[in-house]
Structure formats: structure tokens, C-alpha cells
């Protein structure tokens, strides 16, 4: 009998059916997750991720297996809810086994915990209750999308008060997680300017190259270009008003929101608006930039604009994290074993729109002066900002047309008259057609070697 192939086959089939049941699979996933959690106290991060990932996959397979084979009778629904409840504990253990630096994975597991709990409650409901829950979720989701669309301000007017209120206090985090907040202002009737991100990649041997997103020449299909455009746009979430506070305002703010500190980054104090402006104005004199076209000095002065906040664009914490993540990704994806990446400078660039009149006049929409770059910092290959006190950090680094004799007297506003500032709206003449100075290229390639010695020693 032991050698009867029919019996052996049936025994194997019964064992296979037993293993394919949800509970043994869930048990295996739970064991893997517990092992991964135990490895969180060691330096074996890859092995820990392997066990945590295996546990989550097995738990997901168990849930899928149960929902595919179970009926909707009450007894089966109770067991299905139990399987989903067990998967919650697997996800919870995986969450506890994550490092705090793995923020994307932590966020995903937090969402999975909510889904498993909501799913276990939903399957317990009768048929009518499940339908009501499904319709309620669809309404909740599309009401969120509606608030995201209507909270975009129309031209020369304020957005609806109710949409802005609901989006700010209720829907914002959900829509950010599901990525349903992007690109609504790209469309009719008032499309906004596109945001680009430029990376200046510096290698260990001293060489450097640019990588820019989005780049139509590097996008195999249009959808890829749109996704790169959306990725760049996600960095365009900026602080309004607060960075330029005076020192008394900072002290008043800290007193009001104790024990919260006014910080640029965790553990790094945020200086006052006066100090931000002072550093930037001093940098025009202390950094010895040179125009590579003709070898003339090219001091990077502040533009001649009445509002300093128009030239200083500090990103929100959300965008700062994305910028650091993009820098880390570029550093690793563009490196090679023989020549690793040393650092990555990041510039967020607004490509301003042309008016219909400018287009009819034959002006070039890709003219370099139509790009408005802001310096987002220099990062190491791990995405760490190297100099939080950089005087150019978050400031506009222009590409503009200036007189050929710049920086001779008369081509900028001198200090005794409110400068030193570049004359933003200078127009070329027959006698002086001017030249385009790409301060982004100059800043990216010359900052380290033209930096004052006192700053290098810091």
C-alpha cells in the first residue's frame, strides 16, 4: 500500500491542498516577519529586508487565496475577516522591523495596516452594507479629487473658500499619498508654467555632467515624459512668508508654538530673513565668478526687484525630502565603479510661458532667459545636504542678458544706491547687443574653486 502510486498521489495532493489553505501560508508569513523583526537589532539589513518582504508577500498571497476560494456565507465571512486580521499583525510586525530612514516603506506599511483593518470589517458586513461601503469610498475619493481641482486659484482671483478649507484640513494627506494633487493647473483655461529639475553631477575624478528632467530626447514614449514632468512638479511646494521673518518675529513664533523650534532642517536652526539676505548680498563680492565666454568677472548679484521673496524660494519639508531623494537616486543611477559620484547639485527651474504676442513676434520659447532656476543645494551620494549655510541656497540663480561690458559701472546698481543688484530688464541696443550669462553653469562649475577661503575652512 505504501508503494501504491494512487495512494502516494492522493497523499501528496492532500498535503498540497493543505499547504494551499490560507492559514498555513499566513503562518509561514508570520514566521518570516518575526525573523525579520528579530534581525532589526543586527547590521544584516539586506537579510532583514528579505525576511520582511517574504512575510508580507506570503500574507498577501494568503489573503488573496482566501478571498478567491471563500463564499459569502456568514461563517466564511468570519474566517475571511480573521485572515485579514492576521495579515494586519504581519504588517504591524514588518512595520516595527523597519528603520525610520526607510520612510517610503514605513508609509506603505501604515497604509496597508489601515487597508487590512478596514477590509476585515468590510467583509463582515452583509451584502447591502458592503455595497454602501464601496459607494461611500468612491464618493469620498472623487470628492477629494474635486477639492484638489477646485482649490487651484483661477487667474486674478482667489480659489473657493470651502474647497481650500476641506483640502487643507481633511483631504491633503490622502491626496498626496495617492498622488492625486498634481497637474490640475497644467490644463485649460489657465495653464501654469512647467517645473524642471536640473542635476549637476560631479565625479570623483573631477569631471561633471548635467542631467535634466524632463528631457524629451531621453523619454521613449510620451507617457514617460509626462511622468518625469510630474516628478519635477512635485518639488515645487514652497514656503510662503515664514522664511523671511525678522528675529523678533522668530522669537515670538517660538514662544507661541513651544516647544517647536524654527528650524531649516531637524537640529539646524533657521536664521532670520535679514541674515538670509545679508549672506546673499555678501556672496556677490566674496565669490569670484568668471564668465567663461570672455574671461571677464561675473559677480552673481541680487536681481533688481522690489520684493526679495520673489528671488528666495525655500521648499516645504515635503519637497525637500523629494529633492534629497532625487539627488540620491541620480547619484546612484549615474555612477560607475571606476568613477563614483562625489556630489550632486540640484536646481529647480521654472520654464516661464510665452504670451501670444511674443509668439507672434517670433520669439523662441526655448530661449535660455525664459528659464528661472533656483538653487536647491549640494548633496552627497546618500542625499545629505552638504552645506545648509550656503549663501546661494534656495536663491534664484539667473540666466539673463546683460551688457557686454558687465560688470563695469553703469551695468548694475551700485551699493550706495541700493545695490549691488543686476538690472533685470536691460534691453540690447545696436551699440551693445549684450550677451547671455548662464549663471547656473557658472555657479555649478565654479562655486567650489571660487569660494572664499574662510568658507572652505568651515
Dump pLDDT digits (tens) for 59-84.
999 999 888 888 888 888 899 999 99
232 plus 329 within the same structural domain: yes
Alpha-carbon 134 to chain mean position? 32
| Whether the predicted pLDDT of 1 surpasses 50 | no
Compute the chain's Rg from CA coordinates: 29
Residue 438's beta-bridge partner residues? 399
| Same-domain pairing of 106 and 23 | yes
Domains held by the chain: number: 3
Mean pLDDT of 431-455: 83
Q: Distance between CA 248 and CA 270 in Å, rounded?
A: 13
pLDDT value of position 2: 46
Say yes or no: 432 and 332 in one domain: yes
Return d(Cα 342, Cα 346) in angstroms, integer.
Answer: 14
For the whole model, what pTM was predicted?
0.70
Same domain, 106 and 163: no
Lowest mean pLDDT among 245-254, 307-316, 398-407: 307-316
Q: Are residues 365 and 431 in the same domain?
A: yes
Which pLDDT does position 173 carry in this prediction? 81
329 and 181 inside one domain? no
Domain boundary among 73, 95, 124: 124
Report angle CA 402, 407, 409 to the nearest 5 degrees.
Answer: 110
Alpha-helical regions (H) of 125-158: 127-150
* Count of C-beta atoms within a 10 Å radius of residue 12: 10
- 142 and 115: one domain? no
Biggest alpha carbon–alpha carbon distance for the chain: 107
Pairing mode of beta strands 399-402, 302-303: unpaired
For residues 38 and 16, membership in a common domain is answered with: yes
Q: How far apart are CA 402 and CA 247, in angstroms?
A: 36
Same domain, 56 and 22: yes
Domain of 103, in residue numbers: 5-124
Same-domain check for residues 341 and 444: yes
Q: Do 250 and 178 sit in the same domain of this protein?
A: no
Contact between 272 and 245 under an 8 Å Cβ cutoff? The reply is yes
Residue 363 and residue 354 in contact, taking contact as beta carbons nearer than 8 Å: yes
Residues 200 and 321 in one domain: yes
The percent of residues in the chain predicted with pLDDT above 70, rounded, is 86
pLDDT for the residue numbered 445:
93
Q: Give tens-digit pLDDT for 9-36.
A: 566 555 555 556 888 899 999 999 999 9
Domain boundary among 80, 103, 124: 124
Q: 349-379: per-residue pLDDT in tens?
A: 999 888 888 888 888 888 898 999 999 999 9
Three-state DSSP class for 369?
Answer: helix
Amino acid at each position: 500500500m505504501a508503494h501504491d502510486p494512487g495512494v502516494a498521489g492522493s497523499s501528496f495532493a492532500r498535503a498540497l491542498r493543505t499547504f494551499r489553505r490560507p492559514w498555513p501560508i499566513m503562518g509561514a508569513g508570520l514566521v518570516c516577519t518575526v525573523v525579520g523583526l528579530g534581525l532589526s537589532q543586527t547590521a544584516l539589513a539586506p537579510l532583514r529586508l528579505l525576511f520582511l518582504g517574504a512575510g508580507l508577500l506570503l500574507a498577501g498571497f494568503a489573503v488573496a487565496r482566501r478571498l478567491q476560494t471563500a463564499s459569502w456565507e456568514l461563517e466564511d465571512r468570519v474566517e475571511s475577516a480573521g485572515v485579514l486580521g492576521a495579515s494586519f499583525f504581519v504588517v504591524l510586525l514588518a512595520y516595527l522591523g523597519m528603520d525610520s530612514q526607510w520612510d517610503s516603506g514605513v508609509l506603505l506599511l501604515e497604509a496597508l495596516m489601515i487597508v487590512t483593518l478596514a477590509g476585515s470589517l468590510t467583509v463582515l458586513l452583509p451584502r447591502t452594507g458592503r455595497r454602501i461601503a464601496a459607494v461611500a469610498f468612491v464618493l469620498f475619493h472623487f470628492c477629494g479629487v474635486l477639492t484638489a481641482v477646485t482649490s487651484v486659484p483661477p487667474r486674478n482671483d482667489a480659489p473657493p473658500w470651502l474647497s481650500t478649507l476641506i483640502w487643507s484640513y481633511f483631504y491633503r494627506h490622502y491626496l498626496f499619498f495617492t498622488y492625486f494633487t498634481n497637474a490640475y493647473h497644467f490644463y485649460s483655461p489657465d495653464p501654469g508654467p512647467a517645473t524642471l529639475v536640473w542635476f549637476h553631477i560631479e565625479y570623483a575624478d573631477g569631471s561633471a555632467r548635467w542631467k535634466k528632467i524632463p528631457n524629451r530626447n531621453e523619454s521613449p514614449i510620451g507617457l514617460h515624459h509626462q511622468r518625469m514632468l510630474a516628478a519635477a512638479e512635485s518639488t515645487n511646494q514652497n514656503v510662503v512668508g515664514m522664511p523671511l521673518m525678522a528675529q523678533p518675529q522668530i522669537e515670538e513664533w517660538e514662544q507661541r508654538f513651544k516647544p517647536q523650534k524654527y528650524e531649516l532642517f531637524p537640529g539646524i536652526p533657521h536664521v532670520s530673513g535679514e541674515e538670509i539676505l545679508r549672506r546673499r548680498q555678501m556672496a556677490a563680492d566674496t565669490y569670484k565668478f568668471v564668465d567663461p565666454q570672455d574671461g571677464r568677472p561675473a559677480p552673481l548679484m541680487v536681481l533688481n526687484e522690489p520684493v526679495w521673496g520673489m528671488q528666495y524660494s525655500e521648499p516645504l519639508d515635503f519637497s525637500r525630502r523629494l529633492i534629497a531623494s532625487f539627488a540620491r537616486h541620480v547619484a546612484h543611477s549615474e555612477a560607475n565603479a571606476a568613477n563614483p559620484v562625489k556630489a550632486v547639485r540640484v536646481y529647480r527651474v521654472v520654464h516661464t510661458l510665452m504670451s501670444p504676442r511674443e509668439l507672434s513676434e517670433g520669439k523662441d520659447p526655448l530661449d535660455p532667459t525664459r528659464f528661472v532656476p533656483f538653487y536647491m543645494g549640494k548633496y552627497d551620494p546618500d542625499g545629505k545636504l552638504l552645506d545648509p549655510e550656503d549663501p546661494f541656497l534656495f536663491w534664484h540663480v539667473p540666466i539673463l542678458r546683460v551688457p557686454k561690458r558687465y560688470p563695469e559701472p553703469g551695468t548694475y546698481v551700485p551699493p550706495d544706491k541700493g545695490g549691488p543688484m543686476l538690472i533685470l530688464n536691460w534691453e540690447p541696443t545696436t551699440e551693445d547687443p549684450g550677451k547671455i550669462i548662464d549663471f547656473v553653469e557658472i555657479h555649478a562649475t565654479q562655486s567650489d574653486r571660487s569660494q572664499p577661503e574662510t568658507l572652505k575652512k568651515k
